[in-house]
Amino acid sequence: MKTQTLENLITEYLSQVKKATDLLECTFGTKNILGLWRAKKIPQCGLLTEDITYELHGVGCSVYLSNICVDFDYGPDERIDGFDPWRLYMYACEVPNKYKKYTNKASLENDFNEYLKLGKAKRISGSISNLYFIQP
């Protein structure tokens, strides 16, 4: 089993977001379906497959995969590789057997702040998004 590091949590979360957005693209022809929803071309909630549903909200989407929910916001330029402490916390709570440490908000926020201090992630300057992105 992977160790409970913040980096592993972020990597797994972003992998699940990619899986979810790939399903959205397969169904709707685009990864970012906010425009379709706002143009009233698709409903706010619906099915992607027999057992996978989605629900759009604000600037993001929740995708209910077979055994977990992945909630994400779209970043600037329709980016899907962003994360923040809240979404990481919610994901950790979906898989507590893997990331028990991060089901505690204080532990997650402490490690997240350390991660930022190391320069491993940052916000896009000039963006109003609250999302952070991995630094190359």
> Which token pair is 54?
């989605």
Number of domain units in the chain = 1
Beta strand pairing call for 60-64 and 52-57: antiparallel
Give me the mean pLDDT over the 64-92 stretch: 94
Which comes out higher in pLDDT, residue 123 or 32? 123
112 within domain boundaries: yes
Give residue 32's domain range.
Answer: 6-134
Q: What is the pLDDT of residue 136?
A: 81
> Which token pair is 49?
């497959």
- Model confidence, pTM: 0.93
Q: Percent of the chain scored above 70 by pLDDT?
A: 99
Lowest mean pLDDT among 43-47, 72-76, 91-95: 72-76
**Of 85, 60, 59, nearest in space to 70 by CA:** 60
Which pLDDT band holds residue 2 (cuts at 50, 70, 90)?
Answer: low
96 within domain boundaries: yes
33 within domain boundaries: yes
Digit-coded pLDDT (tens) for 27-56: 999 888 999 999 999 999 999 999 999 999
Mean pLDDT of the chain: 93
64 within domain boundaries: yes
94 within domain boundaries: yes
1 within domain boundaries: no
